[in-house]
Chains A and B, each alone.
Chain A
């Protein structure tokens, strides 16, 4: 009941946040110098033709009128038309976003599977060799720029060793699985298409590692510090006083308490990965939202830029809402207060 009220409140709060984001992106895209009409018509355009196109696109109206028109469209499900792809932005988003979500989710799975265990090991072996190793590893992850790590991985695992593919989502000549979610791994799994599944996973490995390097580092460090605090608590001493062995204390008592701040950070990390996908997709020619956004910016394709920004913002808010809701199931203190 309380959880439901909490979710409803948070969903309502999304509206002002999204309006704020839309104003911000709209204002920033329109301050970029350059003329979309000239980019569309090319260098040989006549002044009359340019003027007509500007009038047609509504570029001559005051900014607030343009914004009002855009927002009115959004409430009818119309995100405008991409000037670059000549298709409705909404269709483009549906076409490109599954690739990005697939990559981001894959990166988050890596983050969870590596970050949390590493953090636990680090905390329980504080100041010992395992701890030092994990801390250096985490620091490297946080400190290395994604595009540089991506290039290194490509150089080594693709060009030198040839164990992982270096670009795209599937092997050349392989056709994508039947469309269900748009995420190739999931669709291949659902349709039982094993060759495509394996190929899709192999293609995810290098960009996934690149994208998760930072978030693995973040989560490892957070898990470590949170677990260290928890391990100092009185109830941990009580558990030892009952005669519980170290592993039972660590996983039965400390982990659930220690993982709470980590969950909050996971929401942030997801947003980070979503944003970071722009660079990673460029390095690995991953046909997702990031690539789409980069093209849109190059062609001053304002509706496309706005669409991508709003979609990422909504995803980010939703993920954080899910994360916050999880507390209700983990911490009994929230249920009763």
Chain B
């Protein structure tokens, strides 16, 4: 397995005390696989990514284990981490406008990873930078190499970011909302580029997004996060066809579908609980229309729906479903299948 994340947790210091941002995050990414992480703002998607890269604020407490190609990187020293960042694993950020250094040329910024991680000569590095710029679909690479980020459009800057991330041919690429800050047409181009890269390399990709369209476009498997925990994990087609967790259902319900006459898009009432005020039971219980007594008192475990499809919801626990009355669960089953 390329990446194995085991019981990852993260606490950040806020207003003098630590509060848990991530809790019990476990997942895997295989070589050549694209894993989507979805959820609304503040659910901990980006923090999961930054935890993998260990690009966290000074006073963050990271728990659990992260193994990259069999090496436990959570126990790595600062220097060892610097050697794998940008080399074995790279990251692309949300806002290409602010993610590039305004005072360095495009060429310098792409070249930096090569200087840090390879022993290439100056000429070799220049050739590689030119090759990378062309590979991410940027025109007139020879001129671009000496231009500054402000001379480029948003889409071009994101292509430069991708070139930077790809410079050392990483095994794992983490993309944090890479298309969110871009125009719709540019979004499509960038996604196409991501798919090209996927086909050409055996990289594992983690695609963080709140956009279900992006998920459908590039992901093989999806994790749904809610309030710092994973609530559902399934292959992408399975997730779209057969969502199990009420939160996932709500998320998919809120997307307009072409050719479908629907009076009103679904929305999920209420707001996400804040770190430090997490309820004892299921974190979604307060917003869930199916909430049972046990949901408010006890955290649901991951329950297997079928192979590769798991969800953290009491509705699918055989014992609980029985206790709560079979009438309700059959009603639910029919509701879900319609």
Where the two chains meet, the residues of A that have a C-beta atom closer than 8 Å to any C-beta of B are 233-235, 237-245, 248, 253, 256-257, 330-333, 336
Contacts and interface: CB of A to CB of B under 8 A. Distances in A.
A336 B148 contact: yes
Given A235-B98, A235-B101, A330-B103, A243 B84 contact: yes
A265 to B, nearest CB: 19
Interface in B39-86: 53, 55, 79, 81-86
B125 to A, nearest CB: 14
Contacts of B112: 239, 242, 244
Interface string B76-111: 000101111111001101010011111110000000
Given A243-B117, A336-B148, A238 B83 contact: no
Contacts of A233: 98
A198 B275 CA distance: 64
Contacts of A330: 103
A256 B93 contact: no
A333 B150 CA distance: 7
Interface in B143-165: 148, 150-151, 161, 164
A239 B151 CA distance: 20
Given A242-B90, A244-B82, A336-B148, 10 more contacts: A233-B98, A235-B99, A237-B55, A241-B91, A242-B86, A243-B81, A243-B87, A333-B102, A336-B150, A336-B151
Given A234-B95, A238-B164, A336-B150, A243 B103 contact: no
Contact of B103 (A239, A241, A245, A331): A331
A128 B250 CA distance: 47
Interface in B133-181: 148, 150-151, 161, 164
Interface residues of B, number: 30
A78 B112 CA distance: 59
Of A242, A248, A257, A336, chain B has the most CB atoms within 10 Å of the CB of A242
A242 B151 contact: no
A243 B148 contact: no
A241 B101 contact: no
Contacts of B84: 243
Contacts of B305: none
Contacts of A248: 116
6 contacts: A233-B98, A238-B101, A241-B53, A242-B86, A243-B83, A330-B103
B86 A241 contact: yes
Contacts of A241: 53, 55, 85-86, 90-91, 93
B98 A234 contact: yes
Nearest to B150: A333
B113 interface: yes
Interface of B: 53, 55, 79, 81-87, 90-91, 93, 95, 98-104, 112-113, 116-117, 148, 150-151, 161, 164
B100 A238 contact: yes
Of B81, B87, B116, chain A has the most CB atoms within 10 Å of the CB of B116
Nearest to B165: A241
Of A233, A239, A248, A257, chain B has the most CB atoms within 10 Å of the CB of A239
B101 A253 contact: yes
B115 to A, nearest CB: 9
Contacts of B87: 243
Nearest to A256: B103
Contacts of B116: 242-244, 248
A238 B151 CA distance: 19
Contact of A243 (B82, B151, B161): B82
A79 to B, nearest CB: 44
A257 B85 contact: no
Given A234-B98, A238-B93, A238-B164, A245 B82 contact: yes
A248 B82 CA distance: 12
Of A243, A253, A256, chain B has the most CB atoms within 10 Å of the CB of A243
Of B91, B101, B150, chain A has the most CB atoms within 10 Å of the CB of B101
B82 A239 contact: no
A115 B151 CA distance: 34
A257 B55 contact: no
